[in-house]
Structure 1
Amino acid sequence: MIRAFLCMAAMASLTACGGSNPFAETPEDDGTGTVPEAIAGNLKSLSYDASAQTVTAQIWALDSTPVEVVYQRNAAKDIGDYEAYSVQEDSLDRFFVAVVGESQDGSVQAGLAGDGGQFNRVLQGAFYQRNGNFDAPPIGTGPAAGQVSYAGDYAGILNGGTTPAGAPAVDDSILPGEPLLVSGQILINANFADMAVNGGIYNRQIVLNTPFALQDLSLIVTDIEADGSFVGDVETHGEVEQDRGDYGGVFGGTDSAAVAGALFAENHEENLDNEQEYGFFVLTQCGLAGDAALCDNAAP
């Protein structure tokens, strides 16, 4: 059913299907790492207050008014450690979901926002940001002296949707869809002597009553810039040098205690057609309090 939906709808964000987004902006580089346009998609800005549990987002377009819209907490759509928020003015308007995360030390954030499609288009995008300056860990003689790991949850959104529960008895062609969300796990390895980073995303699945398994993704080795940001290519695991999109992120906190990032990928699933995916991660460095269980396998 998912395959048929994606093939029939052939949905894509406006920036990805050849038409330019008239409201798109290229943010200035403020030292925290600029989110590439391909990853930002239709998301112009997102403000997340983790302590107050509030999200305000500006997405192009048609979520609500005013331009910066307050989303409501929607715990039913949480993914792993990440919180979900949503907005829909009525049953005939687009249904938007935002999923967001913040590191334990508050140094980095990332998230996504998007709808499940209406009138042959979806409107989606992702972001990441850092609070404060880049602080690389000390470099010494390994292990764990400049080469470190990060692990935790991954969350994504696909350019398809399901009919909302309790949808009104109107023609299906005008109904908005609820977004298809993706869960998974991610490992990031970074070397701050080489100033290089790579990683992989696994245990990926569409979050449904009966989960739909997805393929693993590889985040190809790329440079860490002087400001602690990075941008690289995404490949489907095992399909070498078959570029499927881009990922990016920033390291934050004391000794780069955390990393946040996001990605955009397309045509990366053998069992789906015309698929596009935005996703993100916010991870704690292995060896620190609150790190993921996978970190038991990493050097202390």
Structure 2
Amino acid sequence: MNRFVASLVLPAFLLACGGGSNPFDPDPTAPDPTVPDEDNPVTDAGIPTALAGDVGRISFNATAGTMTVTGLTQDGTPVPLTYRRRPGLDRNGYQAYTYQDDPLDRHVTAYAAEANNGSGVRGGIAVSGGPRNRFFGGGFYERDGAYSPGTGQVSYAGNYVGVTNGNGSSEDLAPVPGTTPGQLRPSQAAEVTGRVFLNADFADGAVEGNVINRQIVDGGIALPSLVLINTPIDSEGTFLGSVEYESSEFPGENVVGQTIGSYGGIFGGTNASGVAGIVRLEEFDGPNDVVLGADSEEEYGVFVLDQCGQPVQDTVGCAGTNP
């Protein structure tokens, strides 16, 4: 359970242009998912609690267009709860689902996708809006079927979608009586879109990447790019690492080594043909809140990617790779 930010609709900040992160800075020590300890707990479903948040499990069928969610506080009953398909809210190829039991109950926005090429990986997130100064949210990923590691170094590319603890549109909210006090009116959480690129080195058992072209959907507010810091891949094809801002966008700021969240996921399929994962951010609008001028901002995001060189791949993101 975390604090809710009332509004994120503020002028965008013009980010500086530049290359990549400074290659001469040593990698910070990343959490090792192969070493369970009290600082790196997982849920009953095997998801690190840093990423799972308030979600116990998300069951998603892309073909049928169905989703059930277990564990999310204050979303409704029964358990698991079946969410409603909302094609009008789909973002970047991720299917949208929502739930609101009645006009004065919390509204929840959820997104999920499944990878191609028979990898059997899928992932999803669910996040509620206000009121009452708090929000609930979390993510889930899983793999069906067999898995074998990739060979050498390979790349993955595709789209990203996130949901924040700030107000977005109200298009999916149930109408409340006009006499309802403002303190009782639920809000619909704001969404973020972006692009993800991962490099996985299966010879060394490590993965790293970037989330770029990030923006809040309502208002088109540009957000800083993220660096998914190099972290180990364990023998089961799972990983957990830290997130930082892209240093080239904040020259003069000490952002390298400053963790702003966590990311993790799971590879699946023959030669790890797909990957699904979650990004959890404890801030997202730049050091010193330069974009929105707000603090306490948080975000849960999901990425479901196909490996470059597979029959189905992201042709734009995979351009220039050598799969």
Taking structure 1 as the reference length, the TM-score comes to 0.85
Q: Aligned-residue CA RMSD in angstroms?
A: 2.0
Q: Displacement of 1:163 after TM fit?
A: 6.3
The reply on whether 1:130 has 2:153 as its aligned counterpart is no
SS at match of 2:83: strand
Aligned to 2:284: 268
For residues 64-103 of structure 1, the aligned pairs below 5 Å read 64-103=76-115
SS at match of 1:5: coil
For residues 1-300 of structure 1, the aligned pairs below 5 Å read 5=7, 26-28=42-44, 34-104=46-116, 105=118, 107-138=120-151, 146-162=152-168, 164-165=170-171, 166-169=175-178, 170-208=180-218, 210-238=219-247, 239-269=255-285, 270=289, 271=291, 272-292=294-314, 293-300=316-323
Q: Displacement of 1:4 after TM fit?
A: 6.4
Q: Displacement of 1:6 after TM fit?
A: 6.0
1:163–1:175: 8 Å Cα contact kept in structure 2? no
Letter in 2 for 1:68: P
2:115–2:304: 8 Å Cα contact kept in structure 1? yes
Q: Percent identity over the alignment?
A: 40
Stretch moving more, 158-167 or 240-249: 158-167
Of structures 1 and 2, the one scoring higher in RCO (CA 8 A, sep 6+) is 2
Alpha-carbon distance in 2 for matches of 1:59, 1:97: 15
SS at match of 2:317: helix
1:195–1:223: 8 Å Cα contact kept in structure 2? yes
Structure 2: runs of 5+ lacking an equivalent: 10-40, 248-254
Aligned to 1:19: none
Runs of 4+ in 1 over 3 A off after TM superposition: 25-29, 165-168
1:6–1:273: 8 Å Cα contact kept in structure 2? no
1:42–1:59: 8 Å Cα contact kept in structure 2? yes
Alpha-carbon distance in 1 for matches of 2:6, 2:144: 43
1:256-278 Cα shifts (integer Å, max 9, x gaps):
00011102111231323210111
1:163–1:176: 8 Å Cα contact kept in structure 2? no
Structure 1: runs of 5+ lacking an equivalent: 8-24, 139-145
1:235–1:268: 8 Å Cα contact kept in structure 2? no
1:251–1:259: 8 Å Cα contact kept in structure 2? yes
Q: Displacement of 1:130 after TM fit?
A: 1.1
SS at match of 1:297: coil
Q: Displacement of 1:106 after TM fit?
A: 5.0
Change over 3 Å in CA distance of 1:137–1:3 after alignment to 2: closer
SS at match of 1:294: coil
2:111–2:124: 8 Å Cα contact kept in structure 1? yes
1:211-231 Cα shifts (integer Å, max 9, x gaps):
111110100001111111110
Change over 3 Å in CA distance of 1:125–1:4 after alignment to 2: closer
SS at match of 2:7: helix
1:81–1:153: 8 Å Cα contact kept in structure 2? yes
Letter in 1 for 2:122: Q
2:146–2:270: 8 Å Cα contact kept in structure 1? no
1:91–1:167: 8 Å Cα contact kept in structure 2? yes
Alpha-carbon distance in 2 for matches of 1:98, 1:267: 20
Alpha-carbon distance in 1 for matches of 2:310, 2:225: 26
Query: Which is strand-richer, 1 or 2?
Result: 1
1:198-244 Cα shifts (integer Å, max 9, x gaps):
00000001111x21111101000011111111100011111200011
Letter in 1 for 2:167: G
SS at match of 1:76: helix
